[in-house]
Structure formats: structure tokens, C-alpha cells
């Protein structure tokens, strides 16, 4: 039974006791002083640069209280924030949790939320170091993550060079399909559906990011959280290059009954679907042979090439090239021109932000 909270201190006590710090494999604590004082003390590792990132996870924008299980909200708010650490080639160290909750959720909902958060914290070896808690009519979550990476090894978005091969991990569009399943509550038959699972319980590609950075294989890297058509232009702009990707190579979900039922097309899902938290990275051709086909069970697929010409082209099976138009998630995008079509489609499906 979840405890009944009468005040903020008892709530914080539950948070602290459910999310005890993780002792990392080197038997080494990055959190020298955790919850309970005015602030936490973080022990940085010598020879490393610290990685700092924060991420909102908001009811109504990123998840729905009546559709997303609290356990998944707890897991996902940490997992998706850690994806940015993975994308730098880093290792998570600790996190701060800023949480605003309606009063009626401080018992059962919070208890279940902390269960998911604790599992993610242990799985990804990242300790809760502190946070802030307050009351609000909607659930607002902000995660601040501290990670680290050996000095000089961080993989940025800006290192891609013409001729580099563009890779992506996993399958794209899977989480967006999972969102459709969750939204339409396709029933218990879909409980074990892998797309639903990927949407509710994403896994940041931490080991892959660290491996690429350690071996200095990737010249540029980022995570795909807003959809390939939105994120690839960001990597290319940061590197002052263009890209040519081959439609047939993009790893995507199969044309299952479910995809048809939800009125989606696997290529559209792969190009514009958000929330996948896969890694998009570039490798010089001479190093490409060092990349395995899969890394810890996750596929690594070459989807195209970086070009000097600063255009983003999608080439179909007949060699016909079209410009890639951003159609992924952007909370501030104006719905004009050709974007309107997909945005309208997304609005029709009431897609959530990533």
C-alpha cells in the first residue's frame, strides 16, 4: 500500500527511500551528499568533462494521465533525458527531479511513478541526487542530468564531413506507432506489443554511444527524438554539410495490420515519428568496416552519405531524389505550406510531443 502523505517532507522521504542512490560498478559514488540537505554534493571524476542536460516531461504535452501508466511516466522521464547523454558518448552520473503534482496524485500515482523511476535509475546506473517538489493542477516533470565523458571524447553534432557514412541505430517510427496504440487503447491484446513497449519504456543507447566515442568511430552524433526529418537537418546544419539518404535503407516498422489500422505508412512514421531515442551518427568510410551489423542486439544501419552540397535529399528506389521536409515534432512550428499536410495529419492523430 502506498503511504498517505500529509506534508511535503513525508513526500520527499518517500522519494528518497524509494530511489536510493545507485552504487556504480566501480563501487564509486558520484553523489557524495544526496537528498536531505540544502543541496547535493557531486564528486566529479578526474580526466572527465561533465555533461549537463535537462528535459521537460509534461502532462498533456508529452504524456496523458489517463493513457500513460504512472510506472511508464517514471521510467520514461529519466530514460529520455539520458538519451542526450548517450548522444554525447557519455555515462550518466546523477540526476535532479523537479516535480509538480496535483494533491490527489501524491499517494497512489506517485508510488507507481517512483517504481518506474527507480527501475530506470538502477538499469541506467544514475542516482537521484535531489530535486524540488511542489503542487500544481497538472503533472510537470523536469529532469536535470549530470553525466561525464573522458576529456576530449564527447561526440558533438558538428564533426560530420563530406563522404562520411550516416548510420542510425534500431528502427525508426516504432515509438510513434506505439503512441497510436497507447492513444487508441487497442486493448490488452497489445500489451506486449514491441512498438507500445518502445513508446512507454524507451532505452537510451548509452552503451552504443560510449563505444562509438571510446573508439573514436563517430565524427558526429545526436539522438533522434523529434523524427529523422527534423533531427537530421540539425546535425547537418551544425556540421555545415548536406546528406543524401536512401529510402530503401531506412530501418522501419513492417506494414502490419496495426500500421494499416492506424492509417499510417511505415516510411512516414520512420521519417517524421518522434520519441525513438535512437542514435544518428556519421562514420568516415575507412572506419565503417569496424562497425558491426548489430551492437548488443540493436541494429546499426547505413542509411546514406554526408555531402558537401548543403541539401538534404531522399533518394527512392528509382534513384529519384526529393528534398527532405521537416515533419517531425516542433512545438513552435508554424503550420504552413507543405508542412501543413503532415502536421494536419499529426494533429488528426493528436500526436504528442517528444
Which positions touch Mg ion (CB under 5 A)? 132
Task: Name the H helices within the chain.
Answer: 8-18, 70-86, 108-123, 174-183, 194-200, 206-214, 228-239, 257-261, 266-272, 285-288, 337-348
Smallest distance, ligand ADP to C-beta of residue 66, A: 23
Interacting positions 36-95 with ligand ADP (CB under 6 A):
36-38
- Which of ligand ADP, Mg ion, none sits in contact with 133, Cβ below 5 to 8 A by type? ligand ADP
Cβ proximity to ligand ADP, 113 vs 329, nearer residue: 113
| Residue 256: count of CB within 10 angstroms of its CB | 13
What residues between 128 and 167 interact with ligand ADP by CB under 6 A?
128, 130-133
Stretch that binds ligand ADP, among 126-134, 171-179, 296-304, 333-341 (CB under 6 A): 126-134
Could you tell me if 178 and 314 are in contact, meaning their C-beta atoms sit under 8 angstroms apart?
no
Nearer to ligand ADP among residue 55 and residue 276 (C-beta): 55
For Mg ion, give the closer residue by CB, 116 or 131: 131
- Parallel/antiparallel/unpaired status of strands 127-135 and 220-224: unpaired
Residue nearest to ligand ADP (CB): 130
Picked from Mg ion, ligand ADP, none, the partner binding residue 285 (CB below 5 to 8 A depending on kind) is none
Query: Which of ligand ADP, Mg ion, none does 36 bind, CB closer than 5 to 8 A by kind?
Result: ligand ADP
Least separation in angstroms between CB 132 and Mg ion: 4
The span from the CA of 198 to the CA of 228, in Å, is 17
Answer for which of 31, 77, 78, 97 binds ligand ADP (CB under 6 A) is 97
109 CB contacts (<8 Å, ≥6 apart)? Answer: 70, 101, 139
Residue 116 in the binding site for ligand ADP (CB under 6 A):
no
Minimum CB distance to Mg ion, residue 33 (Å): 15
Which residues lie below 8 Å from residue 105, measured CB to CB, with a gap of 6+? 139
Q: Residue 35 binds what, of ligand ADP, Mg ion, none (CB under 5 to 8 Å, by partner type)?
A: ligand ADP
Least distance to ligand ADP, CB of residue 25, Å: 24
- Tell me the C-alpha distance between 315 and 207, whole Å: 31
CA 136 to chain centre: 26
Q: Of these partners, Mg ion, ligand ADP, none, which one is at the site of residue 130 (CB under 5 to 8 Å by kind)?
A: ligand ADP
Beta strands in 225-324 (DSSP E): 242-246, 278-283, 294-295, 298-307, 312-315, 321-323
Q: Answer with the entry of Mg ion, ligand ADP, none that 251 interacts with (C-beta below 5 to 8 A by kind).
A: none
- Asked whether the beta carbons of 209 and 90 are under 8 A apart, the reply is yes
CA 167, CA 80: separation in Å to the nearest integer?
Answer: 20
Q: From the list Mg ion, ligand ADP, none, which binds 97 (C-beta under 5 to 8 Å, kind-based)?
A: ligand ADP
Q: Which stretch binds ligand ADP (CB under 6 A): 34-42, 68-76, 139-147, 182-190?
A: 34-42
Closer to ligand ADP by CB, 37 or 257: give it: 37
Least separation in angstroms between residue 13's CB and ligand ADP is 9
Compare residues 101 and 217 and give the one whose CB is closer to Mg ion. Answer: 101
Radius of gyration for the alpha carbons in the chain, expressed in angstroms and rounded: 21
Residue 2 dihedral angles phi and psi, to the nearest 5°: -65, 145
Of the two residues 103 and 316, which places its CB atom closer to ligand ADP in the complex?
103
- Other C-beta atoms closer than 10 Å to the C-beta of 136 total 12
If you ran DSSP here, which 8-state letter would residue 45 be given? P
Which residues in this chain contact ligand ADP in the complex, by CB under 6 A?
12, 15, 35-38, 97, 99, 128, 130-133
Amino acid at each position: 500500500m502506498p503511504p498517505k502523505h500529509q506534508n511535503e517532507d513525508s513526500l520527499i522521504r518517500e522519494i528518497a527511500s524509494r530511489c536510493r542512490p545507485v552504487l556504480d560498478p566501480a563501487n564509486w559514488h558520484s553523489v557524495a551528499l544526496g537528498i536531505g540537505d540544502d543541496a547535493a554534493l557531486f564528486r566529479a571524476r578526474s580526466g572527465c568533462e561533465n555533461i549537463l542536460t535537462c528535459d521537460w516531461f509534461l502532462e498533456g504535452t508529452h504524456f496523458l494521465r489517463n493513457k500513460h501508466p504512472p510506472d511508464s511516466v517514471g521510467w520514461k522521464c529519466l530514460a529520455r533525458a539520458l538519451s542526450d547523454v548517450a548522444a554525447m558518448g557519455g555515462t550518466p552520473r546523477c540526476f535532479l527531479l523537479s516535480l509538480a503534482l496535483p494533491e490527489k496524485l501524491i499517494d497512489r500515482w506517485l508510488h507507481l511513478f517512483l517504481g518506474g523511476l527507480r527501475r530506470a535509475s538502477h538499469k541506467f546506473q544514475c542516482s537521484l541526487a535531489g530535486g524540488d517538489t511542489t503542487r500544481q493542477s497538472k503533472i510537470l516533470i523536469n529532469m536535470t542530468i549530470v553525466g561525464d565523458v573522458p576529456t576530449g571524447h564527447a561526440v558533438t553534432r558538428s564533426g560530420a564531413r563530406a563522404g562520411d557514412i550516416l548510420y542510425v541505430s534500431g528502427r525508426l517510427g516504432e515509438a510513434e506507432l506505439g503512441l497510436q496504440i497507447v492513444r487508441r487503447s487497442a486493448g490488452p491484446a497489445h500489451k506486449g506489443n514491441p512498438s507500445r513497449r518502445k513508446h512507454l519504456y524507451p532505452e537510451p543507447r548509452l552503451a552504443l554511444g560510449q563505444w562509438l566515442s571510446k573508439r573514436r568511430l563517430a565524427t558526429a552524433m545526436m539522438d533522434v527524438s523529434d523524427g529523422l526529418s527534423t533531427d537530421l537537418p540539425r546535425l547537418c546544419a551544425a556540421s555545415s554539410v548536406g546528406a543524401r539518404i536512401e529510402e530503401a535503407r531506412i530501418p522501419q516498422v513492417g506494414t502490419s495490420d496495426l500500421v494499416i489500422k492506424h492509417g499510417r505508412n511505415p516510411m512516414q512514421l520512420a521519417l517524421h515519428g518522434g520519441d525513438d531515442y535512437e542514435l544518428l551518427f556519421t562514420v568516415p568510410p575507412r572506419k565503417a568496416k569496424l562497425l558491426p551489423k548489430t551492437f548488443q542486439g540493436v541494429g546499426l544501419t547505413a542509411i546514406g552519405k554526408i555531402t558537401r552540397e548543403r541539401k538534404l535529399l531522399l533518394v527512392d528506389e528509382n534513384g529519384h531524389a526529393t528534398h527532405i521536409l521537416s515533419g517531425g515534432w516542433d512545438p513552435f512550428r508554424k503550420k504552413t505550406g507543405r508542412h501543413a499536410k503532415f502536421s494536419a495529419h499529426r494533429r488528426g492523430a493528436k500526436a504528442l510531443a517528444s
